[in-house]
C-alpha cells in the first residue's frame, strides 16, 4: 500500500507543470478516445476482473455496469487508479517530485481534516457511521496505512530509486490502462454517490483570510476514498475467511450428512423426532437448515436461560448475523427479538406464558423443543400443550426428541472418540462396612491401576463420579494420602457447595508429570465439561431429590443411576481423545438399572404448575394429557396446598390473590411474600429477602467450619431466624459497597461468603420489582432515573464514570474467559491456597455491571430499602414471611428444655420429630427458643410439661428436607399462634382470651379487605382509584397498628401439640347446642349463626367455629352470663360470650366513627399537599405553611 504514495507524488508534480489550455485539450483528447473504444475497454476490464462478484450494501454499491469504461461519472480506471483526467498524463511523464512536495507528502495527516471527511464519508446515511465501532477501527487502519506509506516514502527518497514505481504506473497509449497488473485493482467495492467532483462541492467554504485552515484537494479525496475501499475490502476478506472456517466446521458435524433427510421428513410430517447424541450439532444447525429452506418464525425452546443466549450468539455468528435481528433470544426480563426476527431461542416457561396469551401460538410456524430428554417439570407440561396444539393446528411443524404418536425418528450419532469400557464390581466384603461411610479402597485401586498401566508423561486426568459430598470427603482423604506417597496426583473436588473459584480449579492444568483426580457429583455429567479427562470412574450411585406429598417433605436419597446417566458418564472419557471408563458394578447390575432417570414431574411439588394450568383456563387438571401423568396423590396435595394459600376456591377457580400469583413465575410462597410486602409498604426488605431466598446460599463451607469465619460472622446472627441473618449479611455487603473503603471481594472471602451470590441477589431483586410492575401490583420506581435529582456537574461526572466503566468492561471482554493455569500442589496432594488470589474476570465483570447500574445515589437507596428501621418493620416483615410460608409451621417438643441444640425435636402438621438443620441460627444458639423459668406463670391449672407463659415460640420454615434425618430448612420465629387441629391453647384469663380472639378475627377480616382493594386498585381501568387508594392506606395503617398491638399482648397461655387421637375426641360433632344470639363477626347486625355440620357448633367466620369443643372440666356453658368490662367503652357488663362479642362489635364501630370524624375535621382545617424533601429523602403530606416551616428548619440547621 505504501507504493501507492509514489503515484500521488507524480499527480502533484504533474498538476504543477501541466496547466492551462494544453492540459484541457489533453484531457478532452483522452476523454474522446475512451468513448470510441468503449466496447473494447469493457472486454479488457472483464478479463482482468473475471472472478470478482459485486454486491450492494446500503450506501456501498458496485454494479457490473459500472465496470465498463464510460464517459460519465468515474470510469473504472478512476476507481482503481484513483486519478482524475487532469492527472493521467502524469503516469507518462515519469519526472521526479520536488523536495517541497516530498516533505508535504510525508507530513500530511488525514486526521487534520477529520471534520471535513466526517461530513463527506461518515454521515448517518453512509455505510460507516460516525462514532461507531467500525468508524474507530477505520481510523486505526488509516493511521497504520499512513505510517507504512511514510516509511516507504522516506526509503525511496534516500535511495532516489523511483524507476520501479514509475514502471508499474505507466499506462498504455491506446486505452490508458496499466501495463502491469496489481492486486489492488481487484477491490470488490465502489462507493455509491461518492464522485470526487461532487464531494468537492460538498466541502464547507473556508475563509480566504484564514491561512491555517486548508481545504482538501481532489487528489487527497481520491486517496482517502482509495484507503476507505481498501479497509472495506480488508474487512470483507476477513468475513470470507471466517465464513470459510465456519462452513468447514459445519460440514464436519455428524448432522450434516442427514440434512436432506431431516428437511424431507419435516416437510412431509407435522411432528418429527430427532434423536441426536452429544456433539452432533442438532441445536445449532437445525434452525439454520430450516431458515435456509424458507421456513420463518422458528421458535426453539431450551430448558435454561444461559443456553438460549449462548445458542443465539452461536447461530448469529454462523449466519453472519451477529449485529442483525434475524436471530434473537427471549428470556424473562431480557430479549433481542424484534418483528424482523426469524429464529428465536426462548425458555420453556416463557413459551408456556405465551400459550396463556395466544393458545394457538399463531406467531410461530415451526416449534423446536430441544433437550426434552431431561424431562424437566416445564418440559412435560409443554409437551402436553404441544400435543393439544398439534390437533388444533395441523399446519405447524413440531420438532422434538421424544416419542409422541406415530412420528418418524431420525437417529444422529455423536462425535466421540473410542472408549474402552471395563467393569470392576465391588466385592460384598468391601461393600459391607460397620460405619455408614463409603469404602475408598476400590477407588484407590483405580489410581494404582492408572499409574501402573499408563506412563506418567502421557496426559490424561481421572474423573470419579460419587453420590454426594459425604462420599467425596471420605474418598478425598484416602486419595490425598496416596497422592502424597506417589507424588503423581493432584486431588480436587467438584460439587455445588464449593465457591466459584474453587470449582474453576478443575479446569486448570496439573504440573508436569502429574494427573488430576477430580471427585465430583453428577454435576459433571451434563452441566460441566472438563477438557483433558481420559479416565472415568463410575460408582453407579446418585443422590436424587424426591417429594413426599404425605409428609410434605423433600427427600435426598442415594439410589442407582439410570442407563442413560451411565452412558453420559462414560462419554466424558471420550470428549477430547480415546479414553477408558471403569464401572464399579457388574454388567448384570447395569442391565437392572432403569433406562432413563425418573422425570421431574414425579419428583417435585406441582403447586406452581397447577396454578398456571388453572390460570390458562384448563377445565380439569386431572384429565390433562401429560406424557407421563404424575401420581394422583401429588395432584390432590397441590390442590390442597393452593387452597390453604387462598389461591383457589373450593371449586378450583382463582381467587384475587391467586390471579396475582399466577402472573408471577415464582414459587407460591415467594410470590405471596411479594404481594403481602406491597400491601404493607415493606417491599424494599421483602424484595431483598425473597431474592436472597431464591438463590443458592452465599455461605460456603468455610463460613461454618473455619473458626475465623465463624467468629467474624457472629455479628450477623439474628435471633429472629435464618432469613433475617441472610438479610443482615446482604445489607452489610451493600454497606461495604457504599462505603468503598474496603474491597468487597476481599471482605466476602475473609468471611467465607461467595460474592457472586450477592450480585445474583441484586439482579434478581430488580427482576422481581419489574415483575410486580408488569402484574400491576405496584408502580415500578425506576431506580435508573436517579439522574433527575442530580445537578449538571453531577450528571457530567456520572457520564464520565460510565464511560470509564464501559471502557474497563470492554477491556475485560477482550481478555476472554478465564485462562487455564498450572495448579500449585501442597504437600498433602491437594491444591495450595495461593491460587485463590488469581484474577476472576467473571466476578470483575459482574462488579462493573453492578457499578454501571448503581451509582452512589442508587446504591445508597438500595441499602436503605434493605434496612429495617424499627421494631415495627421487623414485626411486619415477620408477618409477611409467615403468611407466605404458611402452613409450614413447627412446634417444639415438650421435652426440649432438657436437650442440647442438635438433639432438640420439633413437630410439623404432617411430620413429627424433625430436627433443626445444623447450619441454622437456632441450632448454634438453641437458648433462643427455650422459655426461661422467670417467664412461667405458676398455676395449679397448668402442668410442668405444658407451662403457662407468654413467651411460647412457633417456628415457620421454608421446607423439610430428609437426608439421614428430617431437617427444618430456613426457619424464623412465628409472631402469632395458629391452631388448625394442630395446636391447643389454654389461657389463664378467659376474658383476655376473648379480647384477643376478637382483635385477631377483625385483623384477618381487614387483611382480606385490604388485599381485595389492592387488587382492584391495580387494575388500570378502575374508577375512583384515588378513593380506593385512600381507603387502602387507611386500612393498612389500622392493620399495622393492630398487628403490633396483638403481638405485644401479655396474655399467659399453655401450648400443646394435638395428636391424632386427641383430634378424634376434640369435637362434639354435628348439632347446635345452647347457642342463642347473633353472629358478632357478620357484616350486618342480627345475622344468625350458621351450623358447622362437621365439627358441631356454629360458624362465626369461615375460620372460627364456636361451641364445638368437648371440655369436661369447665362449668361454664354458652348461655352462662358473667361480669366483665368492655375494652372499648370501659363499661361493666353482665352478658354471655356471644352477647359480649356483639357488644364489643358495636363499641368498636362507634369508636372508629368518632375517630374518623376527628380525622376528617383535622383534614378539613388545612389543605395538605404532597411535598418531597430532598434533604430528608422523605415525602410528606402537609400544608403550605408547614412546608415553609420545614424548609426554614433546614436553613437554620
94: left (phi over 0), alpha (psi -120 to 50) or beta: left
CA distance 585 to 1083: 70
Q: Is the pLDDT of residue 445 over 90?
A: yes
Residue 265 and residue 204 share a domain: no
pLDDT at 1047: 84
The predicted-structure confidence for 265-311, as pLDDT tens digits, reads as follows 999 999 998 887 767 888 889 999 999 999 999 999 988 887 888 88
Q: What is the pLDDT of residue 160?
A: 61
Q: Is the pLDDT of residue 739 over 80?
A: yes
Which residues constitute the domain of residue 349? Answer: 254-412
- Say yes or no: 23 and 85 in one domain: yes
- Report the distance separating Cα 903 and Cα 891, nearest Å: 15
Q: Which helix (H) or strand (E) holds 853?
A: helix 841-853
Helix, strand, or coil (residue 855): coil
Q: How far apart are CA 728 and CA 867, in angstroms?
A: 8
pLDDT tier for residue 1184 given thresholds of 50, 70 and 90: low
Co-location of 309 and 425 in the same domain: no
Per-residue pLDDT averaged across 552-577, rounded? 88
Domain count, the chain: 6
Per-residue confidence (pLDDT) for residue 102, from 0 to 100? 62
Higher pLDDT, residue 75 or 612: 612
Is the domain of 586 the same as that of 695? no
Residue, of 1117 and 1030, whose pLDDT is higher: 1030
Q: State pLDDT tens for residues 1031-1088.
A: 778 888 888 888 888 888 888 888 888 888 888 888 877 766 666 678 888 888 888 8
- The residue out of 240, 268, 298 marking a domain boundary is 240
pLDDT band at 1019 (very low <50, low <70, confident <90, very high): low
Beta-strand relationship, 579-583 and 533-538 = parallel
Instruction: State whether 182 and 275 are in the same domain.
Output: no
> What is the reported pLDDT for 367?
94
> How many other CB atoms are there within 10 angstroms of residue 148's CB atom?
13
Does residue 913 lie in a domain region? no
Looking at residues 1129-1148, what average pLDDT do you find? 87
In terms of domains, do 591 and 525 share one?
Answer: yes
User: Does residue 861 share a domain with residue 721?
Assistant: yes
| Least confident stretch, 39-43, 407-411, 1122-1126 | 39-43
Q: Of 218, 240, 262, which residue is a domain's last?
A: 240
Are 158 and 150 spatial neighbours (Cβ–Cβ below 8 Å)? Answer: no
Q: Give the pLDDT confidence score for residue 1157 in this predicted structure.
A: 56
Mean pLDDT of the residues in the chain:
79
- Is residue 447 in a domain? yes
Whether residues 389 and 437 fall in one domain: no
Percent of the chain with pLDDT over 90: 17
- One domain for residues 427 and 407: no
Task: Judge whether 182 lies within some domain.
Answer: yes
In whole angstroms, what is the distance from residue 355 CA to residue 340 CA?
Answer: 21
Residues of the chain with pLDDT > 70, as a percent, come to 80
State how far the alpha carbon of 1179 is from the alpha carbons of 219, 300, 687, 1187, 1190, in Å: 67, 48, 21, 11, 12
Whether residue 806 is contained in a domain is answered as no
* 527 C-beta neighbours (distance < 10 Å), count: 9
Confidence bin at 29 (pLDDT 50/70/90): very low
Other beta carbons within 10 angstroms of residue 322's beta carbon come to 10
Please state the rounded mean pLDDT for residues 1145-1167.
Answer: 63
- Does 406 lie in the same domain as 299? yes
Predicted local distance difference test score (pLDDT) of residue 1061: 84
Q: List pLDDT tens digits, range 721-736.
A: 999 999 999 999 999 9
pLDDT in tens, 222-245: 888 888 888 888 888 887 887 888
On whether residue 114 sits in a domain, the answer given is yes
CATH value at residue 397 = 3.40.50.300
In whole angstroms, give the CA distance from residue 280 to residue 469: 33
Q: Which residue has the higher pLDDT, 800 or 536?
A: 536
Same-domain check for residues 345 and 442: no
Q: What is the 8-class DSSP label of residue 786?
A: G
User: Which of 212-216, 669-673, 1108-1112 has maximum average pLDDT?
Assistant: 669-673
182 and 303 together in one domain: no
Q: According to the model, what pLDDT value does residue 1170 have?
A: 63
Of 127-141, 199-213, 249-263, 738-752, minimum mean pLDDT range: 199-213
On the question of pLDDT at 21 being above 50, the answer is no
Residue 1161 lies in a domain: no
Note whether residue 953 is domain-resident. Answer: no
Q: In what order do the strands lie in the sheet with 298-302?
A: 334-335, 327-331, 343-347, 298-302, 366-369, 397-400, 271-276, 409-412
At which of 212, 240, 268 does a domain end?
A: 240
- Residue 965 placed within a domain: no
What are the tens digits of pLDDT across the range 962-1012? 888 888 888 888 876 667 788 888 888 888 888 888 999 999 888 888 888
pLDDT for the residue 1113: 58
Q: Is pLDDT at 1014 greater than 70 in this prediction?
A: yes
Cis peptide before 887 (omega within 30 of 0): yes
pLDDT digits (tens, 9 = 90+) for 176-202: 777 777 666 777 777 777 788 888 778
Amino acid at each position: 500500500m505504501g507504493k501507492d504514495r509514489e503515484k500521488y507524488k507524480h499527480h502533484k508534480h504533474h498538476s504543477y507543470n501541466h496547466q492551462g489550455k494544453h492540459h484541457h485539450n489533453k484531457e478532452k483528447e483522452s476523454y474522446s478516445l475512451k468513448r470510441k473504444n468503449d466496447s473494447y475497454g469493457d472486454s479488457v476490464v472483464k478479463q482482468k476482473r473475471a472472478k470478482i462478484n459485486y454486491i450492494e450494501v446500503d450506501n456501498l454499491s458496485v454494479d457490473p455496469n459500472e465496470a465498463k469504461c464510460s464517459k460519465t461519472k468515474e470510469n473504472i480506471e478512476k476507481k482503481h487508479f484513483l486519478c482524475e483526467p487532469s492527472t493521467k498524463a502524469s503516469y507518462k511523464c515519469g519526472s521526479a517530485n520536488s523536495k517541497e512536495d516530498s516533505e508535504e507528502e510525508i507530513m500530511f495527516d488525514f486526521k487534520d481534516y477529520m471534520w471535513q471527511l466526517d461530513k463527506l464519508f461518515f454521515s448517518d446515511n453512509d455505510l460507516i457511521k460516525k462514532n461507531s465501532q467500525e468508524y474507530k477501527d477505520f481510523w486505526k487502519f488509516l493511521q497504520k496505512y499512513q505510517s507504512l506509506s511514510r516509511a516507504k516514502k522516506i526509503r525511496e527518497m534516500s535511495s532516489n530509486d523511483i524507476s520501479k514505481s514509475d514502471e508499474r504506473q505507466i499506462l498504455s497509449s491506446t486505452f490508458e490502462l496499466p501495463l502491469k497488473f496489481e492486486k489492488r485493482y481487484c477491490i470488490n467495492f465502489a462507493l455509491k454517490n461518492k464522485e470526487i467532483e461532487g464531494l468537492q462541492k460538498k466541502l464547507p467554504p473556508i475563509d480566504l483570510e484564514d491561512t491555517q485552515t486548508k481545504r482538501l484537494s481532489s487528489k487527497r479525496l481520491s486517496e482517502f476514498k482509495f484507503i476507505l475501499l481498501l479497509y472495506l475490502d480488508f474487512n470483507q476478506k476477513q468475513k470470507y475467511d471466517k465464513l470459510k472456517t465456519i462452513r468447514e466446521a459445519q460440514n464436519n458435524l455428524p448432522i450434516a450428512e442427514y440434512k436432506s433427510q431431516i428437511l424431507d421428513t419435516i416437510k412431509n410430517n407435522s411432528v418429527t423426532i430427532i434423536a441426536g447424541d452429544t456433539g452432533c450439532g442438532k441445536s445449532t444447525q437445525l434452525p439454520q437448515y430450516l431458515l435456509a429452506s424458507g421456513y420463518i418464525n422458528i421458535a426453539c425452546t431450551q430448558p435454561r436461560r444461559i443456553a438460549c443466549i449462548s445458542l443465539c450468539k452461536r447461530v448469529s455468528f454462523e449466519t453472519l448475523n451477529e449485529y442483525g435481528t434475524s436471530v434473537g433470544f427471549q428470556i424473562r426480563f431480557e430479549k433481542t427479538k424484534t418483528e424482523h426476527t426469524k429464529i428465536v431461542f426462548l425458555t420453556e416457561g416463557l413459551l408456556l406464558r405465551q400459550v396463556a396469551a395466544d393458545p394457538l401460538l399463531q406467531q410461530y410456524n415451526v416449534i423446536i423443543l430441544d433437550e426434552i430428554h431431561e424431562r424437566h417439570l416445564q418440559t412435560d407440561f409443554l409437551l402436553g400443550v404441544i400435543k393439544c396444539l398439534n390437533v388444533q393446528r395441523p399446519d405447524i411443524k413440531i420438532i422434538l426428541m421424544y416419542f409422541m404418536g406415530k412420528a418418524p425418528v431420525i437417529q444422529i450419532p455423536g462425535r466421540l472418540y473410542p472408549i474402552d469400557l471395563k467393569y470392576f464390581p465391588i466385592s460384598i466384603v468391601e461393600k459391607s462396612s460397620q460405619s455408614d461411610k463409603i469404602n475408598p479402597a476400590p477407588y484407590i485401586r483405580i489410581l494404582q491401576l492408572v499409574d501402573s498401566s499408563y506412563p506418567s508423561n502421557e496426559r490424561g486426568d481421572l474423573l470419579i463420579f460419587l453420590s454426594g459430598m459425604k462420599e467425596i470427603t471420605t474418598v478425598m482423604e484416602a486419595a490425598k494420602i496416596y497422592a502424597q506417597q506417589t507424588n503423581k496426583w493432584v486431588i480436587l473436588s467438584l460439587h455445588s457447595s464449593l465457591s466459584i473459584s474453587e470449582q474453576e480449579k478443575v479446569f486448570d492444568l496439573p504440573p508436569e508429570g502429574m494427573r488430576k483426580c477430580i471427585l465430583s457429583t453428577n454435576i459433571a455429567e451434563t452441566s460441566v465439561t472438563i477438557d483433558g479427562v481420559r479416565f472415568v470412574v463410575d460408582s453407579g450411585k446418585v443422590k436424587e431429590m424426591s417429594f413426599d406429598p404425605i409428609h410434605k417433605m423433600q427427600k435426598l436419597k442415594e439410589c442407582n443411576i439410570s442407563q442413560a446417566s451411565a452412558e453420559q458418564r462414560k462419554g466424558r472419557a471420550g470428549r477430547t481423545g480415546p479414553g477408558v471408563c471403569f464401572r464399579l458394578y457388574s454388567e448384570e447390575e447395569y442391565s437392572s438399572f432403569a433406562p432413563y432417570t425418573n422425570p421431574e414431574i414425579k419428583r417435585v411439588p406441582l403447586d406452581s404448575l397447577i396454578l398456571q394450568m388453572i390460570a390458562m383456563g384448563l377445565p380439569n387438571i386431572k384429565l390433562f394429557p401429560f406424557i407421563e401423568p404424575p401420581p394422583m396423590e401429588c395432584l390432590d396435595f397441590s390442590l390442597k396446598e393452593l387452597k390453604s394459600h387462598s389461591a383457589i376456591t373450593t371449586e378450583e377457580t382463582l381467587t384475587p390473590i391467586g390471579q396475582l400469583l399466577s402472573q408471577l413465575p415464582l414459587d407460591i410462597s415467594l410470590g405471596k411474600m411479594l404481594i403481602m410486602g406491597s400491601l404493607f409498604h415493606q417491599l424494599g426488605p421483602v424484595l431483598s429477602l425473597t431474592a436472597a431466598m431464591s438463590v443458592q446460599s452465599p455461605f460456603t463451607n468455610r463460613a461454618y467450619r473455619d473458626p475465623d469465619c465463624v467468629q467474624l460472622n457472629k455479628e450477623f446472627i439474628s435471633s429472629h431466624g435464618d432469613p433475617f441473618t441472610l438479610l443482615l449479611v446482604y445489607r452489610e455487603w451493600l454497606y461495604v459497597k457504599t462505603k468503598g473503603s474496603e474491597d468487597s471481594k476481599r471482605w466476602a472471602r475473609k468471611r467465607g461468603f461467595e460474592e457472586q451470590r450477592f450480585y445474583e441477589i441484586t439482579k434478581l431483586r430488580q427482576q422481581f420489582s419489574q415483575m410486580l410492575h408488569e402484574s400491576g401490583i405496584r408502580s415500578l420506581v425506576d431506580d435508573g432515573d436517579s439522574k433527575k435529582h442530580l445537578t449538571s456537574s453531577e450528571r457530567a461526572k456520572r457520564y464520565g464514570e460510565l464511560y470509564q466503566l464501559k471502557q474497563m468492561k470492554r477491556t475485560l471482554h477482550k481478555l476472554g474467559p478465564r485462562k487455564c493455569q498450572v495448579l500449585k500442589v501442597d504437600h498433602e496432594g491437594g491444591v495450595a491456597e495461593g491460587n485463590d488470589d488469581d484474577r476472576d474476570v467473571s466476578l470483575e465483570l459482574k462488579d462493573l455491571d453492578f457499578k454501571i447500574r448503581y451509582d452512589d445515589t442508587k446504591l445508597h437507596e438500595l441499602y436503605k430499602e434493605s434496612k429495617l428501621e424499627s421494631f415495627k418493620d421487623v414485626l411486619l416483615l415477620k408477618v409477611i414471611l409467615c403468611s407466605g410460608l404458611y402452613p409450614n409451621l413447627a412446634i417444639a417438643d415438650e421435652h426440649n428444655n432438657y436437650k442440647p441444640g442438635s438433639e432438640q425435636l420439633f413437630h410439623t402438621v404432617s411430620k413429627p420429630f424433625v430436627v433443626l438443620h445444623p447450619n441454622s441460627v437456632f441450632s448454634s444458639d438453641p437458648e433462643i427458643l427455650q422459655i426461661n423459668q422467670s417467664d412461667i406463670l405458676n398455676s395449679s391449672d397448668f402442668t410442668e410439661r405444658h407451662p403457662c407463659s407468654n413467651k411460647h415460640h412457633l417456628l415457620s420454615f421454608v421446607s423439610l428436607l430428609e437426608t439421614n434425618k428430617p431437617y427444618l430448612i430456613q426457619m424464623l420465629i412465628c409472631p402469632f399462634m395458629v391452631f388448625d387441629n394442630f395446636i391447643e391453647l389454654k389461657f389463664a384469663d378467659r376474658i383476655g382470651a376473648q379480647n384477643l380472639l376478637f382483635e385477631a378475627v377483625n385483623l384477618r377480616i381487614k387483611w382480606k379487605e385490604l388485599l381485595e382493594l389492592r387488587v382492584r386498585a391495580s387494575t388500570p381501568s378502575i374508577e375512583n382509584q384515588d378513593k380506593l387508594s385512600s381507603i387502602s392506606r387507611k386500612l393498612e395503617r389500622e392493620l399495622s397498628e393492630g398487628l403490633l398491638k396483638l403481638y405485644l399482648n401479655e396474655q399467659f397461655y399453655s401450648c400443646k401439640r394435638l395428636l391424632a387421637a386427641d383430634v378424634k375426641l376434640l369435637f362434639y360433632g354435628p348439632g347446635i347446642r345452647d347457642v342463642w344470639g347473633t353472629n358478632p363477626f357478620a357484616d350486618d347486625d342480627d345475622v344468625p349463626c350458621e351450623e358447622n355440620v362437621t365439627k358441631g357448633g356454629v360458624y362465626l367466620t369461615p375460620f372460627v367455629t364456636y361451641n364445638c369443643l368437648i371440655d369436661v372440666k369447665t362449668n361454664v356453658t354458652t348461655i352462662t352470663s358473667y361480669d366483665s368490662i368492655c375494652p372499648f367503652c370501659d363499661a361493666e357488663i353482665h352478658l354471655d360470650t356471644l352477647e359480649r362479642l356483639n357488644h364489643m362489635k358495636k363499641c368498636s364501630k362507634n369508636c372508629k366513627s368518632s375517630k374518623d370524624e376527628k380525622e376528617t375535621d383535622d383534614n378539613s382545617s388545612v389543605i395538605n399537599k404532597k411535598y418531597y424533601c430532598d434533604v430528608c429523602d422523605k415525602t410528606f403530606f402537609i400544608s403550605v405553611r408547614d412546608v415553609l416551616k420545614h424548609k426554614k428548619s433546614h436553613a437554620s440547621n
